[in-house]
């Protein structure tokens, strides 16, 4: 029996996610300074990675659509951006939940928070364009350009903690160039969480892409039927 990619993604994800949750809440030690709230880190960073991966894929697919003008690349870019937007929203939510007990506020206009929020706004505009605009080549091309421009904010987010004075921690590699995760169990938990969230992204992306491919086929069939109807009316 041949398994579909969505079935494989679902099976592996549903196996690995509980393992990641066990490691986050049971296996990994509590961080000495921040306490138990630091465990949000193991959700926050993987969600950021998934969002960046999705937006990067959307930009690449957008560039390929502009070059080849194939509907497949537009559908890939659209699906990647939608799922990436989900994880970008989770980044902002988990970041706020982490900030409140540590910084004493839900939000501050810190450089990394602000650049991440700008990224969220840019792709919100991308999705609004796709929803409000018609299923036309002009809208698809414009959306591809927006995706390519918006993704340029990601490198700025990554280096923001080194470009400007910021209260956001540099955990993976500290500002002094040292390793931010001292206990090996922290590194192991982060890696497992990263893989689990990546697989979750892949599963959701594949499901959404399948939906968009069906929608594209329906749209093409309607266009073909409309053209045939016009031809039939002209000859009758």
pLDDT tens across 221-230, in order? 877 787 777 6
DSSP-based three-state secondary structure for 173: strand
CA dihedral 14, 16, 18, 19 (to 10 degrees): 160
For residue 35, what pLDDT band results from cuts at 50, 70 and 90? confident
Average pLDDT for the chain: 87
Query: Is 45 or 230 the better-scoring residue by pLDDT?
Result: 45
- Report which of residues 202 and 180 the model is more confident about: 202
For residue 7, the model assigns a pLDDT of: 81
End-to-end alpha-carbon separation of the chain, Å? 51
The model's pTM is 0.88
Asked if residue 177 has pLDDT above 60, the reply is no
- What is the model's pLDDT at position 121? 96
Is the per-residue pLDDT at 179 higher than 70?
Answer: no
- Give me the phi and psi of 4, to 5 degrees please: -75, 155
Closest by CA to 160, choosing from 147, 175, 180, is 175
Q: What does the pLDDT average to over 113-126? A: 94
């Amino acid at each position: 029996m041949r398994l579909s990619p969505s079935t494989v993604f679902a099976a592996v994800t549903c196996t690995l996610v509980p393992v990641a949750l066990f490691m986050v809440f049971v296996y990994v030690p509590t961080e000495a300074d921040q306490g138990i709230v630091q465990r949000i880190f193991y959700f926050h960073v993987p969600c950021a990675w998934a969002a960046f991966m999705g937006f990067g894929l959307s930009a690449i697919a957008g560039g390929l659509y502009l070059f080849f003008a194939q509907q497949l690349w537009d559908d890939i870019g659209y699906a990647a951006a939608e799922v990436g937007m989900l994880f970008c929203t989770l980044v902002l939510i988990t970041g706020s939940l982490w900030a409140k007990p540590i910084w004493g506020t839900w939000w501050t206009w810190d450089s990394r928070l602000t650049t991440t929020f700008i990224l969220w706004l840019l792709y919100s505009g991308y999705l609004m364009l796709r929803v409000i605009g018609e299923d036309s080549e002009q809208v698809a091309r414009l959306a591809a350009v927006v995706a390519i421009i918006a993704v340029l904010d990601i490198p700025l987010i990554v280096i923001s903690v080194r470009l400007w004075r910021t209260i956001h921690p540099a955990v993976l590699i500290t500002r002094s160039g040292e390793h931010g995760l001292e206990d090996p169990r922290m590194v192991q938990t982060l890696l497992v969480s990263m893989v689990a969230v990546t697989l979750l992204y892949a599963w959701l992306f594949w499901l959404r892409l399948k939906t968009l491919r069906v929608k594209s086929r329906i749209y093409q069939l309607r266009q073909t039927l409309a053209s045939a109807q016009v031809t039939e009316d002209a000859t009758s």
